[in-house]
Structure 1
């Protein structure tokens, strides 16, 4: 096993994770960096590895360590993982370290968290006269409570729903009938027929 044989692995990892990670190949016996791809840390081949006492590892110890945290001098935080390549005697021959810059992922996480934050209530001064919002809320709540789509509402369901909309004042608003008809997936004539019935024979609340 030589650095030249391991180089394609390092190059492939760096290409896959570019530009968010550096890949480093260490020689623990010489305590130096053999090769480095996408050097986020500014290190170069020949710089000290500073990996610690790898000679104390036994053949039964793990070959992969991490992910564990590291930090760059400019404050960027890394998630790192190290893989030990052993020789025929089970001793550490080389160590691959992959250091992933978490900056882009943390920024994306913050952005997603901001979008997922609970929305503020609608400002009443803007929406207090918006009967279309009331229409949408009543219809949405009705079908959600029954677990059906608007298309699957029965005639009795539509009568009850029209009663709720009428009681909320939606159907007394100018040009509301076409919007209600669209929301309930029905024609205006059918809506007028049901509305006449629900106003003539309002559904009684169950005892």
Structure 2
């Protein structure tokens, strides 16, 4: 069984995994021709010139990833590997060429979503104290590295102090919303508020 036949299942497996974005090619260095090809996105076929002279002369067995381009403007990322026989000579060169078109488009879309935010419109949010509540609680749990439902009593008192300073606790009907945000009962919240009013410097 020749080297190309032995490697054919491997090449087909790679092509299936990366389909439809990649072609896999086996080049024959002896003839400088394509011996086999899977998913030919470049339009080449078996028997076409490989043009591997420069690749073989470097003395390396693995090349890339390196950029290539197709005539229609598509960009490729390519990797090539020299497959040697028992005598150490190059039997084949395996190349995987990945069409970057879909990935580049995805990157552009993600970059657009990651654009800097313009800031919160004051006219819409200047009276939305629940946004302030979420900001204060969220900032605190990130600061202490503890989930909100696992905060200790002194930590909850600290959060309530910050909410009081931010004016949240003075809002009408804020108690049930604050209790829900802190994952505690309303009675537990009232007890904490009583402790906070009794000792403003607590905890």
Normalising by structure 2, report the TM-score. Answer: 0.81
Aligned residues: 202
* SS of equivalent to 2:72: coil
Q: Shift of residue 130 of structure 1?
A: 0.3
Q: Shift of residue 72 of structure 1?
A: 0.8
Q: In the aligned structure 1, how far is the partner of 2:92 from the partner of 2:157?
A: 77
Q: In the aligned structure 2, how far is the partner of 1:144 from the partner of 1:54?
A: 52
Q: 1:86 aligns with which of 54, 70, 84?
A: 84
2:42 match: 41
Larger Cα-atom Rg: 1
Q: In the aligned structure 2, how far is the partner of 1:157 from the partner of 1:7?
A: 63
Q: Does 1:162 align with 2:160?
A: yes
Deviations 1:59-109 (A, max 9, x none): xx3222222111111111111122223345433332222111122222333
Residues 179 and 185 in structure 2, CA contact (< 8 A), matched pair in contact too: yes
Q: Which runs of 5+ in 1 are unaligned?
A: none
- For the aligned residue pairs, the C-alpha RMSD in angstroms reads 2.9
Q: Shift of residue 184 of structure 1?
A: 2.4
Flag the 1:131–1:30 CA change in 2: closer, same or farther, 3 A: same
* SS of equivalent to 2:34: strand
Equivalent positions of 1:75-154 (< 5 A) are 75-154=73-152
Deviations 1:101-136 (A, max 9, x none): 122222333334444454442221111100101111
* SS of equivalent to 1:189: helix
Equivalent positions of 1:33-72 (< 5 A) are 33-52=34-53, 61-72=59-70
Q: In the aligned structure 2, how far is the partner of 1:145 from the partner of 1:55?
A: 56
Q: In the aligned structure 1, how far is the partner of 2:156 from the partner of 2:57?
A: 78
2:19 match: 18
Q: In the aligned structure 1, how far is the partner of 2:133 from the partner of 2:161?
A: 12
Q: 1:175 aligns with which of 141, 152, 173?
A: 173
Q: In the aligned structure 2, how far is the partner of 1:93 from the partner of 1:19?
A: 27
Q: In the aligned structure 1, how far is the partner of 2:5 from the partner of 2:152?
A: 74
